Amino acid sequence: MPDHPKGCLLFDWGDTLMRDFKEFNGPMNDWPRVEAIPGAAGMLAALHSDWILAIATNAGDSDELDIRAAMQRVDLNRWLDKIYCFKKIGHKKPSREFYQCILDDLKLAPQFVCMVGDNYEADVLGANACGIPAIWFNSHSLEDRQAVLHRTIHSLSALPGALNLPFPATGKV
């Protein structure tokens, strides 16, 4: 892994990096069609040299090997350093146990991690409850939610710019 001076970016998987087709069941790698979210490849490529890039997902049908195989089908796997999934952790977002397991594995304090995801409650509020800053990826509306530990983007191409804005100091978490 290259040196990552900024910490770790955690990405939700379904509808954040890859399209979650509701008509398909089972592990995503076995689906007849998979698709990356527009801008995902370029965004991951641009951020990889400065960040540990990881998936943090509640996917119930896919383990780490299934996730990597699905990501390989859309040429995103090469940018990902780690996979954190429900099948490995045994807890789901937004639980504290899910996020704490990730922090323990990364050996990073919450302020050096940022969660990016499309589910406001699980990805944003769940991460925030553990002191982890988050970015809500809202590609479905113009709604914009901002708070001390989170902000909103509407396209993945906006993520690098959003990360360059400091989150306000939060004091003790």
143: CATH: 3.40.50.1000
Give me the domain span that covers residue 158.
Answer: 8-163
Residue 171: pLDDT above 50? no
CB 17 within 8 A of CB 37: yes
Q: Are 115 and 121 in contact (CB under 8 A)?
A: no
Measured distance CA(84)–CA(101) in Å, rounded: 9
d(CA 135, CA 124): 7
Q: Residue 167: pLDDT band by 50, 70, 90 thresholds?
A: low
Residue 48 binned pLDDT confidence (cut-offs 50, 70, 90): very high
Distance CA 102, CA 99 (A): 5
Asked if the structure places residue 171 within a domain, the reply is no
Total count of domains within the chain = 1
SS3 93: coil
